[in-house]
Structure 1
C-alpha cells in the first residue's frame, strides 16, 4: 500500500512527527515551535508502544544518531518502549553517507534485531533513520542524481535526491529479506518532513511560488510518502491520503490489535477528515482548510482538541480508561 501523509513540520522537527505517529495527538493543538518530547512527554504517555506492550509485544526504539537528541533517551521509556538503541549500540558494522549512518546499516540492524529477538514473542520496532538528515551541502559527497532541466543549479536538492535513491535500494533489500521471514511482519515507512533545499527547486517542484499558493498547495509542502507492506495479505487498499496522527491506527488494525477508545475516536474522525495537522486539515474531497475557519467540521475538531488536552494535561481528571491500553494477549501479527 502506498499513499501520502501530511506532517506538521517542514525541513526539521523530526520528533514532532514521531510524537504524532506514536501518540495520535496532533501538533495542531500545541503552541508553535513546541517540542513534545521535551515539554509534554514528562511521564508515562499512552502510545503505540504502550498499546503493543500491553498486547505482549517487546518494544524497541532504534535511532542510529546521538542517544539524547530531542531527549529521546527520556521520552522513549515514558512512551512505553522497553529499550532504546542509538548509533553507539549497533551490533552490525556501520557505513556512512554524507556523515551519517547509512540506511543500509540501519536496516541491517533491524534484521539483526529480528534474528536475535526472544523466540515466540512479537516485536514492535520503531526505527528513526538518520542517513537523509540535512543539510545537503557536504562538499566531498558528489551527487549521483541531477535535476534534468537544470543540472548543477540545485546542488542541495541533488544531494538529497541522491541520498533518497540510496534509501530506496536499502529498503528494497530489507523487504526482500522480510518476504522470506518466517513470522508475520508488517512495515510502515513514512517521511518525517520534506527536505530543506533551495527555494528555487521547491518552486519548480511545486509548480508555484509560496506567495501564490492556494491552501491546498500550501499544505502540499507538508506532504510526505508512506508505505504499508506486509509479508501476508493486507485487507483493502489503504488510505491514499492521511496524516501522521492517524497513520498509526492503520498499523494497529492491519496487525489485528484492538487499540483504545481514543484510537477509535481518531479512526472515526479520519473518516470525515482524512488529514489534520498544525497547518490545517483536509476533507474527503481533498479541499484544505485553515484552522482559522469556522465550518461544519469545527465542533469535531474541538472535540479532538479537548480530548488531547485531557490526555496530556488532565492530571487527576484524565480519562485513563479512554486513553490507556488494557493488559491482554497479542491478537494479531
Structure 2
C-alpha cells in the first residue's frame, strides 16, 4: 500500500516533512508543490477546492495498487474577523450576538459551508474514478470562538462526529470511538488486518473491550515499546524505518528557456511550476517572477549564453523540495554575434 499525504500547509512547519517520513508516508504534497490560485476572503488560507485535484493526482500516481491518502483541509481555520467581511453571505446568522461576535460566526459558518461544497465535489470526483474508495471525514479541533462544554450538544468540547463515504456499498455503521481507534475500525471493516497497533486495537474492537483498564494499559505499554523502548514486539528490530519521503507526486520540468528582449525578461517554460518555484542559474538563485504553472520569468541580465538553469521547488529555510533537470541556455543573440565575427 502506498501512503500519500496532502495538505495546504508548509512542508517544514512543525518539521512536518520529517514527521511524515517517520510515520511511513511515501509522498507529501505540501502547499509549495501546489499551484494555489484561490484564497479565502481574508486571504489567510487557500480554499480547499485545490485538494480535489491534488488528491486525484496522488491516487492516479500509483496504478494497480491500493493507496492510503491523508488530506488536510484548512479553509475553516481562523482567525475569524470581528469586522464584517462578507458582503453577500450565503448563510445568515441570527441570535442575540454582539456585532463583532456575529461577524466572526458569520465568517466561520460560511467558510464551513464552502468546505461542505468541497466535500460534495470531492466525493463526486472519487465516484467518477470508478475505483473502490472509502473516505473518512473528521475534525481535530473546534473553531477558536470561545466555545465551552455547555455550548456543545455532547457536553464535551473534545468529542466530534466523523463521517464515512464509500462507493462500493459498505453498510453504514455507527460507533463511538477514541480518535486513535478510528482508522483501526475503518480498516477492520475493510478486512485489512495489518500493523501492530491496528491489530491490537482491532482485537479489542471485536471483543468490545476498548476502554477497559487492561486494554488501555496494554496499549500504553505497546506504544512505549515501539516508540521509546527496546521493541520487544519486533524482537529488538526496527522493521519500519523512516521512508525516503518524496515531496509531491508530479515532476517539475523545464521545456524551454527563451529571451523576450522587448520586455527585458527571459522566460522559462515548463510543467508544474508554483508560486514557490525559484530559478537557479549556475547554482545561484535569481529573482523569479511566477506567471502560471507553465511559465516563469527572470531578468535578461541574470543569465548568459551557456549558463545552466534549474527550477527548484523551495520550502522555508532554503529547503529544496523538488528540482527540475538541468537546462543549458542558448542565447540567440550570442549565436548571431559569433556567426558575424566568424564571417
User: What is the TM-score of this pair, normalised by structure 1?
Assistant: 0.62
1:75 shift after superposition: 0.7
The 1:135–1:318 alpha-carbon spacing in structure 2 relative to 1, beyond 3 Å, is farther
Q: How does 1:25-104 map to 2 (within 5 A)?
A: 57-90=1-34, 92-97=35-40, 98=42, 99-104=44-49
Equivalent in 131, 134, 149 of residue 75 of structure 2: 131
Higher strand share: 2
1:325 shift after superposition: 7.9
Q: How does 1:198-213 map to 2 (within 5 A)?
A: 198-199=146-147, 202=148, 205-206=151-152
The 1:174–1:323 alpha-carbon spacing in structure 2 relative to 1, beyond 3 Å, is farther
Kept in 2: contact 1:63–1:87 (CA 8 A): yes
1:232 shift after superposition: 0.5
Partner of 2:140: helix, strand, or coil? coil
1:108 shift after superposition: 2.7
Kept in 2: contact 1:261–1:322 (CA 8 A): no
1:309 aligns with 2:252: no
Partner of 1:241: helix, strand, or coil? coil
1:249 aligns with 2:164: no
What is the alpha-carbon distance in structure 1 between the residues aligned to residue 175 and residue 109 of structure 2? 23
User: Which ranges in structure 2 are unaligned for 5 or more consecutive residues?
Assistant: 241-343
1:320 shift after superposition: 2.0
Can you list the C-alpha shifts for 1:274-299, whole angstroms capped at 9, x where unaligned?
6x6xxxxxxxxxxxxxxxxxxxx333
The 1:149–1:73 alpha-carbon spacing in structure 2 relative to 1, beyond 3 Å, is same
The 1:74–1:63 alpha-carbon spacing in structure 2 relative to 1, beyond 3 Å, is same
User: Which ranges in structure 1 are unaligned for 5 or more consecutive residues?
Assistant: 1-56, 208-215, 277-296, 327-333
Kept in 2: contact 1:101–1:130 (CA 8 A): yes
The 1:138–1:156 alpha-carbon spacing in structure 2 relative to 1, beyond 3 Å, is closer
The 1:260–1:204 alpha-carbon spacing in structure 2 relative to 1, beyond 3 Å, is closer
Partner of 1:222: helix, strand, or coil? coil
What is the alpha-carbon distance in structure 1 between the residues aligned to residue 177 and residue 6 of structure 2? 25
Which one has the largest radius of gyration? 2
Equivalent in 295, 315, 319 of residue 233 of structure 2: 319
Can you list the C-alpha shifts for 1:53-106, whole angstroms capped at 9, x where unaligned?
xxxx2221111111112211101111111111111101x553111321111112
Aligned to 2:142: 194
The 1:258–1:325 alpha-carbon spacing in structure 2 relative to 1, beyond 3 Å, is farther
Give the aligned length: 233
Higher helix share: 1
Can you list the C-alpha shifts for 1:160-197, whole angstroms capped at 9, x where unaligned?
21111110011101111222212111111111112220
What is the alpha-carbon distance in structure 2 between the residues aligned to residue 105 and residue 88 of structure 1? 13
Kept in 1: contact 2:36–2:46 (CA 8 A): no
Higher normalized contact order (CA 8 Å, seq sep 6+, divided by chain length): 1
1:226 shift after superposition: 1.3
1:139 shift after superposition: 4.7
Runs of 4+ in structure 1 deviating by more than 4 angstroms, as ranges, are 321-326
The 1:86–1:191 alpha-carbon spacing in structure 2 relative to 1, beyond 3 Å, is same
Kept in 1: contact 2:149–2:157 (CA 8 A): no
1:269 aligns with 2:217: no
The 1:226–1:168 alpha-carbon spacing in structure 2 relative to 1, beyond 3 Å, is same
What is the alpha-carbon distance in structure 2 between the residues aligned to residue 58 and residue 139 of structure 1? 45
What is the alpha-carbon distance in structure 1 between the residues aligned to residue 14 and residue 93 of structure 2? 33
Partner of 1:84: helix, strand, or coil? strand
The 1:325–1:149 alpha-carbon spacing in structure 2 relative to 1, beyond 3 Å, is farther
